[in-house]
Amino acid sequence: MTGTFYGLRSLAASCLILAACVSLACGADESSTTKPSSGGSYEVHDMKRPQPEVVTPGTASTNEQPGKPPSDAVVLFDGKDLSKWKADRTEKDIKAGKPEGPADWKVENGELIVNFGKGNIRTNEEFRDVQLHLEFWHPTDIKGSSQGRGNSGVFFMGMYELQVLDNYEAETYADGMVGSMYGQYPPLVNAARQPGQWQMYDVIFRAPRYEGEKVVKPARMTVLFNGVVVQDNTELLGPTRHKLLTKYPKTHPEKGPIKLQDHGHPVRFRNIWVRELKETPAPAARSAAGAKEPPADAK
Ligand code: MG
């Protein structure tokens, strides 16, 4: 046993010396350890670490007027037209005689309005991990109840529905109310405003990660509804299903569209934008070796 241990230790030491020699022979210097990598190549307070990209923040919306998106946002609807959208057609729809084509919803006074019976709409562009901002509005002449009152929805990757519903002093099943991951998770609280008021979703969506046919990280969703957290990094069970317990398919697209649901109710939308997100977190600092104590005013 002991002989084997020392033999291995000797071999490991030889490898380290060889690696050091190769490094010196190649003229490697300190900078070779500062390249970004998934392993975390920076020391604590390393001034060589790249600065984050600069983004000019947007402005907040009021009930009377939508705010402005951040400078790096992909604007999906700014009140003018539906050029970023098209009709959402499945192969089944096309076989049934519903052709592909432009989004046939209404645009009035800078607002996007569900056009009953024209079907869901989806973005031309496809996305993976995103931050999404969207505002919606329900009419004051309330009609219907439960799922029949102000129903629409926002689908990420075309398949994960964040429910849109009028739940102001109105009940339905908890995993189908506004702020719910439909059929999976109720919102943490009901932060709905009354009809006639613009309401806001701010969402961080992360697509599921697969290795082969296996899900190694489920899709995740964080949702602020009217500024209130209603989903906190919620791990989704799979794509949205109705009256079924969902699960992940064996294969999953890398990207998918943002989709809005036509549930036959007069829901209005405005100020819709996304920002594509990078992998996070960036690799953590490797160690504090060599880090100097920062000045007191820099802490
Ligand atoms: Mg819905």
d(CA 186, CA 130): 21
216 by DSSP, 3-state: which? strand
**Full-model pTM:** 0.82
Report CA(154)–ligand 1 centroid distance (Å): 8
pLDDT number for residue 294: 57
Contact 241, 183 (CB under 8 A): yes
pLDDT number for residue 298: 56
**In-domain check, residue 112:** yes
pLDDT number for residue 205: 98
Given the structure tokens 């989903």, which residue do they identify? 231
In 3D, which of 206, 191, 114 has the Cα closest to residue 160? 206
**In-domain check, residue 290:** no
156, containing H or E segment:
strand 152-156
**In-domain check, residue 53:** no
**Each residue's pLDDT tens digit in the chain (299 positions)?**
334 433 444 444 443 333 333 333 333 333 333 444 444 788 899 998 889 999 999 999 999 999 999 999 999 999 999 999 999 988 888 888 877 899 999 999 999 999 999 999 999 999 999 999 999 999 999 889 999 999 999 999 999 999 999 999 999 999 999 999 999 999 999 999 999 999 999 999 999 999 999 999 999 999 999 999 999 999 999 999 988 999 999 999 999 999 999 999 999 999 999 999 998 767 788 788 766 655 566 55
224, containing H or E segment:
strand 220-225
Report CA(178)–ligand 1 centroid distance (Å): 9
Q: Looking at residue 202, which CATH number applies to its domain?
A: 2.60.120.560
pLDDT number for residue 62: 97
Q: How many folded domains does the chain comprise?
A: 1
Report CA(52)–ligand 1 centroid distance (Å): 37
Report CA(277)–ligand 1 centroid distance (Å): 25
pLDDT number for residue 282: 73
| Residue 192 in tokens | 């709905």
Report CA(240)–ligand 1 centroid distance (Å): 10
Report CA(164)–ligand 1 centroid distance (Å): 6
Report CA(228)–ligand 1 centroid distance (Å): 20
**In-domain check, residue 123:** yes
Give residues whose Cβ lies within 5 Å of ion ligand 1: 151, 153, 261
Report CA(123)–ligand 1 centroid distance (Å): 17
What's the CA dihedral at 252, 253, 258, 263 to 10 degrees? Answer: -50
d(CA 181, CA 160): 8
Cβ neighbors of 51 (< 8 A, separation 6 or more) are none
Report CA(120)–ligand 1 centroid distance (Å): 11
Q: Half-sphere exposure (CA, 13 Å, Cβ side) for 103?
A: 25
**In-domain check, residue 292:** no
pLDDT number for residue 200: 98
Range of the domain at 242: 11-35+73-280
Report CA(261)–ligand 1 centroid distance (Å): 6
Q: Which residues pair with 143 in a beta bridge?
A: none
**In-domain check, residue 133:** yes
d(CA 51, CA 190): 39
